[in-house]
Structure 1
Amino acid sequence: MKDNNFEITLRPTEISDLDTLFQIKLDKEASYLAAFMSKDSNDKTAYINKYTKLLSDPTVNNQTITINNSIVGSIAKFIMEGDTEITYWIDKKFWGQGVATKALKIFLTIETNRPIFGRVAFDNFGSQKVLEKCGFVRIGKDKGFANARQAEIEEYIYKLS
């Protein structure tokens, strides 16, 4: 897909992508908005080990988002408590440019399991807009401990049927 004079593509994530993806996830503001992260999300060895295992998990679909062949984020499908869920992360330099929305639209043509759910912190308005632009509907809310904030916060649950 073309947008803002760049081409957004998805490809299966490779182990060689993990260093770059880890660096992207270190952004403090992005971590705050993502909220629900692992306790050791700043530990590179833990990150590499976790995602190396996930790359060989057949229930997980990890894709790397690129613009003009440069890595700008990731998007994935995983199963949690029997539900198909999505997660995505975009380099902050590309926020507000439609990258997450375009990447999710592409991803939803690859990953056709439905229903598919997305969860987002109550104050992550950008991610809420992305889900809504891609046809997700807010169906509820939950509370959970957000490691990035060291507090329990509300999260919204979205569903695409």
Structure 2
Amino acid sequence: MTGDLRLRPVVEDDLVEFFAHQVDPEANRMAAFTTPDPADPRAFATHWVRLLTDPAIVARTVTVDGVVVGHVLAFPVGTSTEVSYWIDRRHWGRGHATRALSALLREVTRRPLRARTAVDNHASLAVLRRCGFVVTGTDRAYAPARGHDVDEYVLELTG
């Protein structure tokens, strides 16, 4: 874990970086539950307009030493709140996801929070566990990035 990691509100210039992160095929395969066409700029823009204009959604840019490396989100799903994160693959394995999610959890204090990850995404499962999430069940859903149904863990943070 190195570098000065910070969360800040998303600004328009960040979206260029987020789009570049989103079109990475390996990152999409790992995330599994992505947009049907990650290379569609119109769908990307529509998605981010919704995220940035919904007051119930907390969206933060993750920077390390001033460089945009990803984003973290907290968003309503029914009566629950879920968290999500995306770190640029060039920055994987440096603890940024764990640090960014931990920072988001200090800002978003409502509990319980939920998260989901593909069962074979061991790195994401480790991030969530390090942040206090526990597996509460499993589900199976269609994963656009893989083109078929994928098993996923459902996790919860209560404290």
Please report the TM-score for the alignment, with normalisation by the length of structure 1: 0.95
The aligned amino acid for 1:145 is: Y
Contact 1:15–1:52 (CA under 8 A) maintained in structure 2: no
The aligned amino acid for 1:132 is: R
Q: Does 1:85 align with 2:82?
A: yes
In the other structure, the counterpart of 2:119 is: 122
CA shift at 1:21, angstroms? Answer: 0.6
Give deviations 1:34-93, integer Å, cap 9, x for gaps.
Answer: 001121322012101220222010111000000111100000001112210001000111
Stretches of structure 2 that go unaligned for 5 or more consecutive residues are none
Identity of aligned residues (%): 38
Q: Does 1:23 align with 2:20?
A: yes
- Pairing partner for 2:68 from 67, 71, 83: 71
- Pairing partner for 2:108 from 108, 111, 130: 111
Q: Which runs of 4+ in 1 moved over 4 A?
A: none
In the other structure, the counterpart of 2:142 is: 145
Q: Does 1:61 align with 2:21?
A: no
The aligned amino acid for 1:75 is: V
What SS class does the counterpart of residue 126 from structure 1 fall into? helix
In the other structure, the counterpart of 1:13 is: 10
Larger deviation: 45-54 or 65-74? 45-54
In the other structure, the counterpart of 1:49 is: 46
Q: Distance in 2 between matches of 1:99 and 1:54?
A: 22
Q: Distance in 2 between matches of 1:16 and 1:48?
A: 12
Please report the TM-score for the alignment, with normalisation by the length of structure 2: 0.96
Stretches of structure 1 that go unaligned for 5 or more consecutive residues are none
